[in-house]
Amino acid sequence: MTYKHALALYPYFRDSTATMGVFPPTGLEYIATNLKDLVGRVTFLDLRYEKEYQDVKTLSDFIRKEIDLLCISISWDSQFKEICDLICSLPDDVTTVVGGRKATEEVEALFERCPNIDLIVRGEGEETIKELVKGVPYSDVLGISYRENGKVIHNEHRPLPDIFNADFPDRSLRRHDYHWIQNGVKIARFTFDTVLTSRGCPYNCKFCTFSLNPLGQKRKYAERSLESVIEELKSITADVVLFSDDNFFTNPKRSEKLCDLIIESGIEKTFMVQTRIEISRHKELLEKAERAGFKILLMGIESPHDKILKQLDKGFNQQQIREAFKVFNKHNFYIHGYFIYGNIGETEEEMVYIARFAKELKLDSITFQKLRVEKFSTLKEVVENTPGYYCDSVGGPVYSDTYSLKDLRRIRDRIRRNYYDFGQVRQILKRVYTARVFSAFDISYAFAKLPKILIRLTRREFEKKGWVSAQ
Ligand code: SF4
């Protein structure tokens, strides 16, 4: 074996909610699973949970003594600078491989900032990492960038892999369960996990890069076999499972079959899925989904306004959204809606209308984000060609001569105030209870943790002001 002991490192620290929410780093788990039979041993460290290894010296000592292959996942924009600093301070004599969405976008910057990175895996890395540990020469491995004689070499892209019978993550590599941790306090007793049953999405919403792989290639919609999905679900011990498919109900017949199999297998969990309003046309599927435990639907609505929906190529209009919600509201799903504000040509009152529209639909909760332009988004060209609209950085927010970033923050606060009033909080609690998302015991458990969180928050504020010393 070329490597005796590999470390799969998820370098994000702070609370479980800071990055990737409450869920495990699935992409890195796929890599670790593909590595495990090809190296002597794999250790999986998620720094959000590893207090001891958040200390750079302890982590470096461990790597120096034990590790000969270090695989690091960089997937998010947040903490990018801190993670570069962390990598720079790790031992430079260990083969260091970096991958993930953000790493793929920032290949040049990472090589420049971190002299100890040997190699970057671009795009989906399962096949690539296998070839690397089997000792295939770097020059023959597709989808990598590496250093050679002081230069960075970029190999050809790797074609997208078939996922029908791909291995799913080996959860025995984990050192802990995944909880909801806020300001250092575990506020829910249930545990979380994710499952990926398909990749890609056949829609082409203009702002979206989810359906692209990190190289900007449109990922053709591809499904895993249902037998393998059920086998994976049976191996999961967590209470709440997110199907991280871009759109879980893309193939309604398959989704219905999966619901049947979940019911037949007696698997009892709370499932969360990302979906589109079109699912409202499949009434039998909705009933089965409810029976199978699909309790939380995450729905991209984006805007109440037809002109914006058209601009974003969302594929439906306001009337169709209203019709869909008449169907959804006959069921007992907890529905969370996503909206985008600050769109091109959108006025302040049109943006603030999001709050009223969401209430009219009876959405349980919403998040609303400023329009952003990602690296491969087709919206980039539209913003660049619209006089008076600007975006200063890749993935950054769009602002305009009419609405500065400060104005947009003020508008965000107006939407929040108009939507999250007392009645809405009451609706959230009621739905959480009636949809049996969580039990009365879970809700009271979370409430019981509130004083502890407030004490921690207050202490952090005092530390910032220097009134007490940092812990
Ligand atoms: S926003 Fe959703 S539906 Fe639209 S392309 Fe992206 S993943 Fe598909």
- DSSP string covering 151-197, please? EEEEPPPPPPPP-TTPPPP-GGG-SS----EETTEE--S--EEEE--
For residue 207, which atom of ligand 1 is closest to its CA? 1
- Summary mean pLDDT of the chain: 90
For ligand 1, the distance from its centroid to the CA atom of residue 201, given in whole angstroms, is: 6
Are residues 230 and 296 part of one domain? yes
Task: Quickly list H helices, 196-273.
Answer: 226-235, 252-265
Are residues 201 and 111 part of one domain? no
Residue 384 maps to which CATH number? 3.20.20.70
Are residues 314 and 220 part of one domain? yes
Are residues 141 and 290 part of one domain? no
For ligand 1, the distance from its centroid to the CA atom of residue 316, given in whole angstroms, is: 12
For ligand 1, the distance from its centroid to the CA atom of residue 438, given in whole angstroms, is: 28
By residue count, the chain amounts to: 471
Residue nearest to atom 3 of ligand 1 (CA): 203
Residue 445, pLDDT score: 66
Are residues 132 and 256 part of one domain? no
Q: Does residue 245 contact residue 279 with C-beta atoms inside 8 Å?
A: no
Q: How many helices (H) and strands (E) does the chain have?
A: 17, 19
Are residues 196 and 148 part of one domain? no
Are residues 275 and 220 part of one domain? yes
Ligand 1: residues whose CB is within 6 Å? Answer: 201, 203-205, 208, 210-211, 246-247, 276, 300
Rounded distance, CA 86 to CA 88, Å?
5
Residue 225, pLDDT score: 94
The total of other beta-carbon atoms located within 10 Å of residue 126's CB is 18
> End of a domain among 154, 176, 198?
154
Kindly state the average pLDDT of the residues 449-469: 65
Residue 416 token pair: 């929040």
Task: Tell whether the model's pLDDT for residue 433 goes beyond 60.
Answer: yes
Is 164 within a domain? no
> End of a domain among 96, 129, 154?
154
Are residues 337 and 290 part of one domain? yes
Question: What is the pLDDT confidence band of residue 456, given thresholds at 50, 70 and 90?
Answer: low
Task: Tell whether the model's pLDDT for residue 14 goes beyond 80.
Answer: no
Rounded distance, CA 367 to CA 337, Å?
7
Are residues 224 and 134 part of one domain? no
Residue 449, pLDDT score: 63
Residue 289 token pair: 């989904």
Residue 163, pLDDT score: 79
Is 425 within a domain? yes
For ligand 1, the distance from its centroid to the CA atom of residue 422, given in whole angstroms, is: 32
For ligand 1, the distance from its centroid to the CA atom of residue 372, given in whole angstroms, is: 15
Question: What is the pLDDT confidence band of residue 394, given thresholds at 50, 70 and 90?
Answer: confident
Is 325 within a domain? yes
Residue 101 maps to which CATH number? 3.40.50.2300
Kindly state the average pLDDT of the residues 138-155: 94
Beta bridge partners of 146: 119, 153
Is 225 within a domain? yes
Q: Which residue, 99, 126, 103, is CA-closest to 113?
A: 103
Residue 286, pLDDT score: 97
pTM above 0.75, yes or no: yes
Kindly state the average pLDDT of the residues 260-274: 96
Kindly state the average pLDDT of the residues 50-65: 94
Total structural domains in the chain?
2
| Strand 144-148 to 151-154 pairing | antiparallel
- Per residue in 171-229, pLDDT (tens digit) is 999 999 998 877 777 777 789 999 999 988 889 888 887 666 666 777 788 899 999 99
Kindly state the average pLDDT of the residues 57-85: 94
Task: Tell whether the model's pLDDT for residue 121 goes beyond 60.
Answer: yes
Are residues 343 and 200 part of one domain? yes
Is 135 within a domain? yes
Are residues 108 and 12 part of one domain? yes
Task: Tell whether the model's pLDDT for residue 18 goes beyond 50.
Answer: no
Are residues 112 and 236 part of one domain? no
- Per residue in 325-370, pLDDT (tens digit) is 999 999 999 999 999 999 999 999 999 999 999 999 999 999 999 9
- DSSP string covering 89-118, please? TS-TTSEEEEESHHHHHTHHHHHHH-TT--
For residue 276, which atom of ligand 1 is closest to its CA? 3
Name the percent of the chain lying above pLDDT 90: 70
Lowest mean pLDDT segment, chosen from 183-192, 275-284, 462-471: 462-471
Rounded distance, CA 358 to CA 345, Å?
21
Q: Does residue 341 contact residue 304 with C-beta atoms inside 8 Å?
A: no
Q: Best mutation site among 211, 377, 379 for ligand 1, i.e. most ligand atoms within 8 A of its Cβ?
A: 211
Is 424 within a domain? yes
Question: What is the pLDDT confidence band of residue 452, given thresholds at 50, 70 and 90?
Answer: low
- Residue 75: give the domain boundaries: 5-154
Is 316 within a domain? yes
Question: What is the pLDDT confidence band of residue 19, given thresholds at 50, 70 and 90?
Answer: very low
Residue nearest to atom 6 of ligand 1 (CA): 208
